[in-house]
């Protein structure tokens, strides 16, 4: 399989699996309950979580950059 098609296939598979998992979790929890929990969440914890996610991705990118040099 050509690298371009392999990359597209892998990305498509990731999107399908992520979509299915999000659908399954929201269906299991219930959309109303999910929205209510999200509204009552402390914004500071959401910001901390997003910051940790961003730093993690940046460090991972830096690691790959250093490995590929």
Distances (CA, A) of 33 to 19, 36, 45, 49, 64: 19, 5, 19, 21, 39
DSSP assignment of 28-47 equals HH-HHHHHHHHHHS-HHHHH
What's the rounded mean pLDDT across residues 10-30? Answer: 93
Q: What is the pLDDT of residues 32-65, one digit of tens each?
A: 998 888 889 999 999 999 999 999 999 999 999 9
User: What range does the domain containing 52 cover?
Assistant: 3-68
What's the total number of domains in the chain? Answer: 1
Task: Give CA–CA dist 21/44, Å, rounded.
Answer: 26
**Is residue 46 a contact partner of residue 38, using CB atoms and an 8 Å limit?**
no
Query: What per-residue confidence (pLDDT) applies to 5?
Result: 87
């Amino acid at each position: 399989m050509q690298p371009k098609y392999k990359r597209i296939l892998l990305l498509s598979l990731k999107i399908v699996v992520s979509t299915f998992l999000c659908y399954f979790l929201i269906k299991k929890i219930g959309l109303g309950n999910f929205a209510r929990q999200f509204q009552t969440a402390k914004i500071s914890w959401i910001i901390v979580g997003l910051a940790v996610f961003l730093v993690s991705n940046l460090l991972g990118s830096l690691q790959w950059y250093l490995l590929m040099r």
